Amino acid sequence: MLEVVDIHKRFAPDKPVLQGVSLALAREEILCLLGPSGCGKSTLLRVIAGLESPDRGEVRLRGVVITRLPPHRRGIGLMFQDYALFPHLDVAGNIGYGLRMQGVPAAERRARVDALLALVNLQGYARRTVDELSGGEQQRVALARTLAPNPALLLLDEPVANLDRLLRAELVQELRRILKTLHVTTIFVTHDQEEAFALADRVAVMHAGRIVQVDAPPQLYRRPANTFVAEFLGFRNLLPLLGAPTERQVSTAAGAFVLPEAAPKSLAPSARLLIPPDAAVLDAASPGATYVPFRGRVTATIFRGSLFQVEVTPATAAAACQLSFEFRNRGRQRLPQVGEDILLWLDTSQMLVVNDEEA
Amino acid sequence: MRRLPILALYALPLIFLAVFYLYPLLAILRVGVGGDDFAAQAAAALTSAALWRLLWFTTWQAALSTALTVLAGLPLAFIFARFDFPGKRILHALLTIPFVMPTVVVAAAFMALIGRTGLLNSWLQRWLALAAPPIQLEQTIWLILIVHVFYNVAIIIRTVGGFWGNLNPHLNETAMALGAPPWQVWRTVTLPLLLPSILAASLLVFLFCFTSFGVVLILGGLRFATIEVEIYRQAVSYFNLPLAALLSIVQLALTFSVMIVYTRLQARVSRQLRGRRPARSQRPRNWRQWGLVIGALVVTAVGLLAPLLALAVRSFTLGDQGVTLLYYQALTENPRQSAFFAPPITAITNSLLYALATLAISLPLGVISVYMLAQPRSRTAAVLDPLLLLPLGTSAVTLGFGYIVAMGPLRTSPWLTPIAHALIALPFVVRTLLPARRALDQRLQMAAATLGAGAWQRWWTIDAPLLTRALAISAAFAFAISLGEFGATLLVARPDRPTMPMVIYQALGRPGLLNYGQALAMSTILMVVTALALLAIERFRLPGEEEF
């Protein structure tokens, strides 16, 4: 459906923004560009929409090269984070704008606007002015406006970032429902992994103008490709390796572990052992064959509602080392106290050696 | 009872406006309407072809000036809004020139540049060996139109450009992504969004051109007269006070109507702008854009500076002696050797004294007014707000004329001149101070109070330092306005205490190279003093603060 091939873009000679980005999208797929601010994800979106022209590389839509096509002839819908609703037009005027540009007759336009208003649950809003709308309503009008001309591809730049947290979760659900109903191929940009996981079929993680990993959300979460992705996804237990791993055995300040698979052959100095926060069980007996015992002293506890988080320093630690684990909060269970020595069971089958990005 | 001193303080601006603004206007009404044969006179005047010719000329020259100004200003506004280029700050500072340069100086400057004996003509004559000067614009409508564009193009560039720069670029980009080709983006998005600001700026320009006085009086000769010029002629030359009053009333009615529309539009424009983050302007990206920017840069810089430079050059090189200080020396001499006429140079002292007195009056009144206006839901503020704007829509000559008919024995007081200047400067002072006062965070006051500061201590240690910058700018504005004020001064100031613009005007009206040279020399001095005030304004101004 969409192919992006080796796109390079720099705004100043010393400021490369995109450094060889390639990407392919299947029909009806929802792809998320995830990355920290300044990683080039919005610029990539603008290149695809035709608002920036790349220094090098090619954009193909349905097999046709559109790299030099002006934005108004691409048929690609684009929705900005700030929605950019036209303040001088009412809701119907905004939604119908793209159809007006196509020369669709007024009556047909009205019917289509009404259908779209129904789709985004805003029946009866046609004559409202843009100022009268709440943030969530503005977002839905912007979405309807972008969908109105039936774009071949939909680009959403941080579609729900401007809304408060409660509304956001709801609208992400709503958005996925609408996109899947209409079978629209979509790329959306976000820096929020929860949003990415909830909405996308596949997630492309960007870093410093490059795509560093493309995977479905579960794979991405279970197997981050490198330390950057792991850190960006919020993993905190990333332990430096002590010496080169021998086959499946790695040793760290928190102890030595035998992993389910062999570590990569060539490891960078910044390679880390990743222990997910949910890989620990607080129990007296071993929960299974892949679990190993781990003794440590509690340095902090944080209550987080359905979860509680415990910070532990390993009893065996030679250097300063702290691990953080999350446990499901089960009613009457006694929580560990700060200063207490505890026994945990760590699941080695969930551990993973993540290599450096450059290696 | 503790609020009594505050109330007394708050009454000051209202009393000032009542005595020195409303009362003179009422006096004009009385002279115009109160005469025994008013009905007959008004009927005669209204049916006279002369009056309609006057109205017609005033209106069409203002409309044409406005159209030309918008045409010249819009492309420049676009370039200022969209692009970032070296020298932009300096160029933006240059745009303040027309705001503060006195009309007499600008009129003299354009004569020095493109007048019959102007710099361009003498160069062209020398290079092309022509017998007659090739540029023949003196005493034509074109010269008036050119000067009006010079004066007002900055209004378009600043207001429309400022608005344009704040338009969300995503709006245009969204329109493109929705399938709008560039001209459709302009027609359906950019233009409708800009229109209120273009209209508001155009109305202001129209208002200024409609009441244009100095430019038309000096450059128009006897052939052209606006209502404003005619009021002056009727009041001073023919002493026909009833007719002058009638003309003033007609003009007031027209300018107030325009003012009302303007303030409505302005309110809409600022409402639209609220809470919008400024778009980033960008460097030109290709040679076409660079060409556009450099072209605009050169045209603006040359257009703004060439007349002023020509003025300075001409004041040293007029005649055939080469470079000479003759005209500056002549300023220090008393031409008629009589005790009644002081040497022209004393006008500099007069002007500076008047300007200082203007500051002393307008700044305290401005500060008090701003505190009143900033009070939420205050009834006095609701009265004061439009009242403070009115002087902006009242022409200077009308005001001066009002003083003549209203002030009785006070007419000869030397204080009348700075009072008139302060009244004209007050709206500018208030407009500069108000945003700064509104930006003061009330919580700072509360914090200071909890730390033990009393009311005066709070004002002195919190508000005053935070208002300093705005105070400096408004002081410079008031100073420059007083230095250059011409219309009201011409009617109010005593002949034995002339200001610099008066001396320039008189010298321009007398025949002979020496008089003309003196006018240029005095204009150059006034220009330099005004430029210093301008530097002060730009020194203290934060980008994006101006309201005009």
Q: Do residues B112 and B521 make contact, with C-beta atoms less than 8 angstroms apart?
A: no
In sequence order, the β-bridge partners of residue A252 are A255
DSSP class per residue in A267-316: --TT-EEE--TTSEE--SS--STTEEEEEEEEEEEEEETTEEEEEEEETT
Q: How confident is the model at residue A115 (pLDDT cuts 50, 70, 90)?
A: very high
- Is the complex ipTM more than 0.85? no
| Sheet of A30-34, strands arranged across | A76-79, A153-157, A186-190, A30-34, A202-207, A210-215
Hunting for tokens 């160029």 — which residue is that? B91
CA distance A42 to chain B (A): 13
B11 touches chain A (CB under 8 A): no
Q: Do residues B479 and B445 make contact, with C-beta atoms less than 8 angstroms apart?
A: no
Cβ within 8 Å, pair B176-A84: no
Q: How confident is the model at residue B280 (pLDDT cuts 50, 70, 90)?
A: low
B170 touches chain A (CB under 8 A): yes
Determine the average pLDDT of the residues in A148-170.
Answer: 85
Cβ within 8 Å, pair A77-B177: yes
Give pTM, 2 decimals. Answer: 0.80
User: What pLDDT does residue B48 have?
Assistant: 78
Hunting for tokens 């005004």 — which residue is that? B530
Determine the average pLDDT of the residues in B523-545.
Answer: 76
Q: Do residues B525 and B500 make contact, with C-beta atoms less than 8 angstroms apart?
A: yes
DSSP class per residue in B485-533: --HHHHHHS-TTS--HHHHHHHHHHS-SHHHHHHHHHHHHHHHHHHHHH
Using the predicted structure, report yes or no on whether residue B121 has a pLDDT greater than 90. no
Using the predicted structure, report yes or no on whether residue B38 has a pLDDT greater than 70. no
Other beta carbons less than 10 A from residue B84's beta carbon: 12
Residue B201's nearest CA partner among B288, B101, B249, B268 is B268
Q: How would you label B167-184 residue by residue, b for 16+ Cβ within 10 Å and e otherwise?
A: bbbbbbbbbbbbbbeeeb
User: What pLDDT does residue B185 have?
Assistant: 92
B289 touches chain A (CB under 8 A): no
3-state secondary structure of B311: helix
Determine the average pLDDT of the residues in A124-144.
Answer: 90
CA–CA separation, B231 vs B228, rounded Å?
Answer: 5
Instruction: Give per-residue pLDDT as tens, A199-251.
Output: 999 999 999 899 999 999 999 999 998 888 998 898 988 888 887 777 788 88
Cβ within 8 Å, pair B193-A87: yes
Determine the average pLDDT of the residues in B93-120.
Answer: 83
Contacts of B202 (CB under 8 A, 6+ apart): B66, B69, B70, B156
Contacts of B193 in chain A (CB under 8 A): 87-88
Q: What is the CATH number of domain A236-354?
A: 2.40.50.140
User: What pLDDT does residue B362 have?
Assistant: 93
To the nearest 5 percent, what fractions of chain A are helix, strand and coil?
A: 25, 35, 40
Residue A269 is encoded by which pair of tokens?
């100095």
CA–CA separation, B34 vs B405, rounded Å?
Answer: 13
B84 touches chain A (CB under 8 A): no
Contacts of A87 in chain B (CB under 8 A): 193, 272
Nearest by CB: B176 against A71, A148, A149:
A71
User: What pLDDT does residue A242 have?
Assistant: 81
Nearest by CB: A101 against B171, B179, B192:
B179
Determine the average pLDDT of the residues in B86-90.
Answer: 77
Residue A268 is encoded by which pair of tokens?
């960078």
Q: What is the CATH number of domain B48-99+137-314?
A: 1.10.3720.10
Q: How confident is the model at residue B254 (pLDDT cuts 50, 70, 90)?
A: confident
Using the predicted structure, report yes or no on whether residue A154 has a pLDDT greater than 90. yes
Using the predicted structure, report yes or no on whether residue B67 has a pLDDT greater than 80. yes
Helices (H), B167-235: 169-177, 182-185, 191-210, 214-219, 227-232
Other beta carbons less than 10 A from residue B326's beta carbon: 17
* Minimum mean pLDDT range among A145-159, B260-274, B329-343, B428-442: B329-343
Contacts of B189 in chain A (CB under 8 A): 86
Best B163, B174, B197 member to test A by mutation, with max A CBs in 10 Å, is B174
Domain ranges of chain A: 2-222, 236-354
Domain ranges of chain B: 48-99+137-314
Nearest by CB: B177 against A78, A86, A100:
A78
DSSP class per residue in B66-106: HHHHHHHHHHHHHHHHHB--TTHHHHHHHTTHHHHS-HHHH
Nearest by CB: B178 against A70, A82, A98:
A98
CA-based nearest residue in chain A for residue B195: A88
Q: Mean pLDDT across chain A, nearest whole number?
A: 87
Instruction: Give per-residue pLDDT as tens, B343-398.
Output: 778 888 889 999 999 999 999 999 988 888 887 767 777 777 777 777 877 888 98
CA–CA separation, A141 vs B109, rounded Å?
Answer: 56
Q: Do residues B113 and B122 make contact, with C-beta atoms less than 8 angstroms apart?
A: no
Determine the average pLDDT of the residues in B22-48.
Answer: 76
CA-based nearest residue in chain B for residue A157: B170
Nearest by CB: B174 against A75, A78, A100:
A78
* Minimum mean pLDDT range among A140-144, A177-181, A270-274, B531-535: B531-535
Cβ within 8 Å, pair A86-B189: yes
Cβ within 8 Å, pair B180-A76: no
DSSP class per residue in A35-92: --TTSSHHHHHHHHHTSS--SEEEEEETTEE-TTS-GGGT-EEEE-TT----TTSBHH
Instruction: Give per-residue pLDDT as tens, A71-85.
Output: 998 889 999 988 889
3-state secondary structure of A157: strand
Give the torsion through C-alpha atoms of A14, A15, A20, A25, to 10 deg.
-170
User: What pLDDT does residue B82 have?
Assistant: 82
Contacts of A70 in chain B (CB under 8 A): 176, 181
Using the predicted structure, report yes or no on whether residue B28 has a pLDDT greater than 70. yes
Other beta carbons less than 10 A from residue B542's beta carbon: 11
Using the predicted structure, report yes or no on whether residue B274 has a pLDDT greater than 70. no
B272 touches chain A (CB under 8 A): yes
B175 touches chain A (CB under 8 A): yes
Cβ within 8 Å, pair A49-B173: yes
Q: How confident is the model at residue B545 (pLDDT cuts 50, 70, 90)?
A: very low
Q: Do residues A260 and A290 make contact, with C-beta atoms less than 8 angstroms apart?
A: yes
Using the predicted structure, report yes or no on whether residue B276 has a pLDDT greater than 60. no
CA-based nearest residue in chain A for residue B172: A84
Nearest by CB: A80 against B170, B182, B272:
B170
Q: A2-222: what CATH class?
A: alpha beta
B180 touches chain A (CB under 8 A): yes
